[in-house]
Amino acid sequence: MSFSNEVRKEICSDITDKDRRFACLYGMLLFCRHLGSERISFQSKSRVSADEFAELFRRVFGRELDCRLSESTSGKTLYIYDITEPELISEVFAKYRFSDGTRAFDDELVSTSSLGVFTAGVFLSCGSVNDPEKEYHLEFSVPYEPLAEVLVTLLGDIGVNARTTHRRGQNVVYIKGSESIEDTLTFIGAQQCTLELMNVKIYKDVRNKANRIANCDTANIDKVVAAAMKQQEDIRLIASTVGLDSLSEELREVAELRLDNSGMSLSEIGASLSEPISRSGVNHRFKKLARLADEIRNGGSFEK
């Protein structure tokens, strides 16, 4: 099941009393595909949303609706409920104070405590949310442009920064960012899905941190290996030209340890010397060896 349908199922499970059914159906009708005095048409690619619309309509208006199946442009099944009976349309318009030709949100119909349920109906009608494993994105494909601004304002009242755009002739209200999506899901009654999204975010943050640490460790290892190879190259040059016996005892000892132990860290080399020294002390001796090797490459003489 998609994450969007998980949200829809959780929303529907909480629409359990008369006021909540009224508010949720209001959101579904106001934001449905077509709302006019001759036809009301609710369409959805989600069977969950379609079944909930039929159930809420039956509970609010006492009428059974017939579902018609069609195929959307994307090849998915489209569940359609067309209401064309004039008397029933008039009853719907009267109950929800709809006006033909315009769609306006009547805040007097919905109490403040029911705004979340109303917005849940909007989500069931035209909303979707991406799988948080892939992307943080929630959107509403709003059929009537003025309603897009109504929805942006309503979401803004709970601190969610929603934006609008146009896509393929649709007015889209979209929300980016995990925290804003969490707030929206909680507002519309999908608390368990909110927790699921938060868990995914925590997992992704931990995984990304682990990857950064691993990448950093790999980079550090690569630097250490490259430095050790350069040190061995310098020492072999010195050995093949002037000989390691020409070096001071201090330099000869670290040189021989490096030749025999390419994987040793500077600290480990320092601890293995006859007279142990610090990491910085070992690094200082290797710098001396590097200068000697450079002098040999440049054809000059060197001091031990």
Q: What pLDDT, in 10s, does the model give residues 232-285?
A: 888 988 888 888 888 899 988 988 888 888 778 888 888 998 889 999 998 999
Express each pLDDT in 78-101 by its tens digit.
999 999 999 999 999 999 999 887
- pLDDT band with cut points at 50, 70 and 90 for residue 51: very high
The secondary structure element, H or E, covering residue 43 is strand 40-44
The mean pLDDT of 2-9, rounded to a whole number, is: 94
Q: What percent of the chain has pLDDT over 70?
A: 98
Give the strands of the sheet with 127-129, arranged side by side. Answer: 127-129, 137-142, 170-176, 163-167
pLDDT at site 98: 93
pLDDT at site 6: 94
pLDDT at site 112: 83
What distance in Å separates the CA atoms of residue 96 and residue 93, rounded to the nearest whole number? 5
pLDDT at site 72: 77
Query: Residues 6 or more apart from 257 whose CB is under 8 A from it?
Result: 264, 269, 272, 273
Among 37-51, 90-104, 215-229, which is the least confidently predicted range?
215-229
Which residue's entry shows tokens 């709003």?
Answer: 142
User: Whole-number mean pLDDT of the chain?
Assistant: 90
- pLDDT band with cut points at 50, 70 and 90 for residue 301: low
DSSP 169-200: TEEEEEEESHHHHHHHHHHTT-HHHHHHHHHH
Q: Where are the domains of the chain?
A: 3-189, 206-297
| Helices vs. strands in the chain: H and E counts, helices first | 11, 8
b or e along 68-88 (b: 16 or more beta carbons within 10 Å of the residue's beta carbon)?
eeeeeeeeeebbebbbeeeee
For 3-189, CATH number out of 3.30.930.10, 3.10.28.10, 3.20.20.70, 3.40.50.720 equals 3.10.28.10
- pLDDT band with cut points at 50, 70 and 90 for residue 179: very high
Query: Taking the complete model, does pTM exceed 0.85, yes or no?
Result: no
pLDDT at site 97: 94
Whether the pLDDT of residue 130 is over 80: the answer is yes
- Max intra-chain CA distance, the chain: 109
pLDDT at site 244: 86
- pLDDT band with cut points at 50, 70 and 90 for residue 212: confident
- pLDDT band with cut points at 50, 70 and 90 for residue 16: confident
- pLDDT band with cut points at 50, 70 and 90 for residue 303: low
pLDDT at site 300: 65
Tell me if 65 sits within 8 A of 56, measured CB to CB: no
